[in-house]
């Protein structure tokens, strides 16, 4: 994996563990020689991931929609900063520029990015690993809900391994490096569905 898209919040929670987690992710990816592709902002966890990766000598590619760039939240310290027309183009660019996806704590936008990466993998728009860092148990309920969807039958057995969830960054990166792509829906026949 040469580059990973990092999905995370642009907010700064009161609990310092979240910012520390973001800094660890940026620094660790840079130390492992993995470039960061992210939302292009300078605020919150987003900014912490980027600045820590840059401080550790890493590559950081930001992808930001025009509306956010124009509101002065863009991080112009990135190795590269791409300004795009909107959110759909932003997520497409994340997919084009990265070899996988890592989601750390965040809010609604982060969830949108995670679920789209999973949906696109399930369909076959990409065959890249989709990782979830369950720092401090932040995603316990989401992981349980994903299992519930599978148990009920809304996630096919072939696709139940798309989401790679781990409690530590090291374990997550190792699991992502060993990811074996599944059979996407685009390759299935109606009887398989």
Structure confidence at residue 72 (pLDDT): 73
Structure confidence at residue 188 (pLDDT): 84
Please give the structure tokens belonging to residue 153.
């039958």
Structure confidence at residue 69 (pLDDT): 87
Structure confidence at residue 143 (pLDDT): 98
Instruction: Identify the three-state secondary structure at position 38.
Output: strand
CB-based contact 37:97 (threshold 8 Å): yes
CB-based contact 10:49 (threshold 8 Å): no
Q: Which residues of the chain have pLDDT under 50?
A: none
Structure confidence at residue 70 (pLDDT): 80
**Domain range summary for the chain, segments of one domain joined by +:** 3-181
Please give the structure tokens belonging to residue 97.
């520029």
Distances (CA, A) of 35 to 49, 138, 150: 11, 25, 33
Q: Which of 107, 104, 135, 134 is nearest to 38 (CA)?
A: 104
Structure confidence at residue 101 (pLDDT): 98
Structure confidence at residue 190 (pLDDT): 80
Structure confidence at residue 3 (pLDDT): 98
For domain 3-181, the question of CATH label 3.40.50.450 is answered with yes
Unique residue bearing structure tokens 């990015």: 113
């Amino acid at each position: 994996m040469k580059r990973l898209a990092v999905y995370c919040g642009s907010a700064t929670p009161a609990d310092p563990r979240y910012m520390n987690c973001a800094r660890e992710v940026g620094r660790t990816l840079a130390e492992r020689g993995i470039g960061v592709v992210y939302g292009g902002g300078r605020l919150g966890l987003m900014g912490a991931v980027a600045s820590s990766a840059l401080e550790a000598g890493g590559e950081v590619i930001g992808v930001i929609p025009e509306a956010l760039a124009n509101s002065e939240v863009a991080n112009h310290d990135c190795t590269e900063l791409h300004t795009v027309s909107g959110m759909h183009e932003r997520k497409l660019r994340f997919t084009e520029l990265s070899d996988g996806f890592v989601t750390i704590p965040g809010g609604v936008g982060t969830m949108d990015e995670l679920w789209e990466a999973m949906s696109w993998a399930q369909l076959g728009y990409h065959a890249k690993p989709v990782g979830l860092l369950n720092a401090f148990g932040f995603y316990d309920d989401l992981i349980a809900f994903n299992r519930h969807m599978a148990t009920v039958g809304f996630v096919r057995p072939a696709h139940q391994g798309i989401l790679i969830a781990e409690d530590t960054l090291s374990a997550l990166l190792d699991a992502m490096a060993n990811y074996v792509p599944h059979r996407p829906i685009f390759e299935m026949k109606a009887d398989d569905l």
